[in-house]
């Protein structure tokens, strides 16, 4: 299989926006730098930042589709995070600063359904991003698989609805599902592919508008018998990855 990296994305605040990168340096055993560094815990959450906890503890796109239209920009030097949304003014704040928390909660509140537990605080787990897996994962996604979903639905879809980290295009749909238990080299980094990503309602929302507009889950189930898209991998050898780098199954 021959493929190249087409896109690199990180999501600094879990479920609250994405940021495109031209390059990233991976470290063995760690999540992508700047990805899911923070997560927004809701009022019923047990998350206190002491350890990894499942996504049910957080305010997220599956329950609040309006969040899917957020874009993010993280200043790595200052730690300042800027969020933009078509229905909200731009917000720049420091997720580590308790004094900024209320400004963020007020900015986010109109994007949340009224019948859900409201957001209460932002958590960070030392040493890893708050990905959806107990192990520090990076999601690898295939543009050929995305086009297969588009074709089955019958209209164009933004790949951003999948919220994946590293994209490639081998010209063969679902090739990534055969990588389980194998290693893949991307640029100078090597990943062990651990599991397929089971998708949720967040993927039904348009990342430009935050409105549900495509039944991705039914389409996956009806056409392929599952609700999986992309794979979770773990970094086993660190190194730099740049747009255009080769993707090789080892």
Pairing of strands 166-168, 138-142: parallel
Sequence-separated (6 or more) residues with CB below 8 Å from residue 130: 14, 36, 37, 38, 39, 52, 58, 123, 124
Q: Which residues pair with 163 in a beta bridge?
A: none
Q: CA nearest 19: which of 230, 186, 160?
A: 160
Which helix (H) or strand (E) is 228 found in, with range?
strand 228-237
* Number of alpha carbons in the 13 Å side-chain half-sphere of residue 188: 11
Domain ranges of the chain: 3-30+133-249, 39-123
pTM confidence score = 0.96
Name the 3-class secondary structure at 38.
Answer: strand
CA distance 2 to 14: 31
Q: CA nearest 248: which of 196, 175, 198?
A: 175
CA distance 174 to 158: 18
Q: What is the pLDDT of residue 117?
A: 83
Question: How many Å separate Cα 246 from the centre of its chain?
Answer: 22
Count Cβ atoms below 10 Å from residue 47 Cβ, excluding itself: 23
CATH class of 3-30+133-249: mainly beta
Q: What is the pLDDT of residue 13?
A: 98
Q: What is the pLDDT of residue 1?
A: 77
In contact, 236 and 188? CB cutoff 8 Å: no
pLDDT per residue of the chain (250 residues) written in tens, 0 to 9? 789 999 999 999 999 999 999 999 999 999 999 999 999 999 999 999 999 999 999 999 999 999 999 999 999 999 999 999 999 999 999 999 999 999 999 999 999 998 878 999 999 998 899 999 999 999 999 999 999 999 999 999 999 999 999 999 999 999 999 999 999 999 999 999 999 999 999 999 999 999 999 999 999 999 999 999 999 999 999 999 999 999 999 9
In contact, 168 and 7? CB cutoff 8 Å: no
Q: What is the pLDDT of residue 183?
A: 98
């Amino acid at each position: 299989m021959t493929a190249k990296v087409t896109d690199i994305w990180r999501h600094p605040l879990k479920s609250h926006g994405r940021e495109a990168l031209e390059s990233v340096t991976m470290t063995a055993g760690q999540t992508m730098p700047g990805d899911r560094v923070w997560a927004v815990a809701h009022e019923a959450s047990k998350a206190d930042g002491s350890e990894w906890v499942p996504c049910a503890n957080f305010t997220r796109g599956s329950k609040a589709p309006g969040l899917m239209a957020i874009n993010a920009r993280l200043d790595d030097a200052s730690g300042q995070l800027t969020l933009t949304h078509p229905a909200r003014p731009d917000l720049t704040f420091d997720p580590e600063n308790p004094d900024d928390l209320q400004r963020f909660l007020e900015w986010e509140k109109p994007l949340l359904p009224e019948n859900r537990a409201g957001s209460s605080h932002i958590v960070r787990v030392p040493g890893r991003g708050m990905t959806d897996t107990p192990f520090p994962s990076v999601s690898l996604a295939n543009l050929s698989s995305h086009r297969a979903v588009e074709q089955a639905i019958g209209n164009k879809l933004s790949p951003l609805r999948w919220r994946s980290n590293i994209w490639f295009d081998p010209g063969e749909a679902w090739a990534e599902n055969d990588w389980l238990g194998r290693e893949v080299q991307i640029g100078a980094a090597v990943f062990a592919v651990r599991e397929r990503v089971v998708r949720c309602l967040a993927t039904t929302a348009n990342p430009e508008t935050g409105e549900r507009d495509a039944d991705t889950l039914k389409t996956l189930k009806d056409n392929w018998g599952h609700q999986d898209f992309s794979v979770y991998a773990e970094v086993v050898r660190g190194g730099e990855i740049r747009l255009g780098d080769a993707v090789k199954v080892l």
